[in-house]
Structure 1
């Protein structure tokens, strides 16, 4: 869990240093704008942007019941963020598994990617798809 928050914390700390310098220079408006940008960057690189993750075993069980795809992801992954943002509200229809929180999820990703933890890996009808086009994933969602 610590690993998932490392990048957002570093982004916030760097932003704090920059903002502190701007405040001491007397640029309060600029400091506020820069702080907002760093907070947004930290948020985008955190788990907060993604739907609530579940365990790999639970995701597979739910997917077998409802036919919805399973997405294996990790915080800080730009490709995972791209997929999440491009799916919009449709992302909530998928089963999301954070491989940094779930060892079974990480093992499932390594099993289909020759030992690598390449994400996003999307499982549709039992078949893995590594870093698929978000438009294609949207087509896999139930109507």
Structure 2
């Protein structure tokens, strides 16, 4: 007699798994469009402020939608609600925010043997220009180059970004 086991594995958020009420995929990465953004405990202005972001362009992951409010997750895994007017579709990423010491080589081309043009410290904020599922072209104010996609928080592991 065979026993059928059905298990629902939790999503690793590697790819969007559903569509939200906005018609956009959930989860998805966006960035902050304002320099000061209140993150609330619930979806509305009457809810308490949980914390405040003070950096325009930081990436956040939208995990839920309710009307004009978006439940977001930051790079440390904390969640709260932000009004959609404070979010942008511009793609940004943080370099290796899980590390205190690991620098990431910024390479001239998408190859482990390519010459480094710089070494990026953890938590460097970068604009994401494109990703092919393995490598991302990123840039900052005075630099640009390629990094392995797995070294960024703000893009999914096998996601392509144009």
TM-score, structure 1 normalization = 0.29
TM-score, structure 2 normalization = 0.26
- Between Structure 1 and Structure 2, which shows a larger proportion of helix residues? 1
Q: Relative contact order: is structure 1 or structure 2 higher (C-alpha 8 Å, sep ≥ 6)?
A: 1
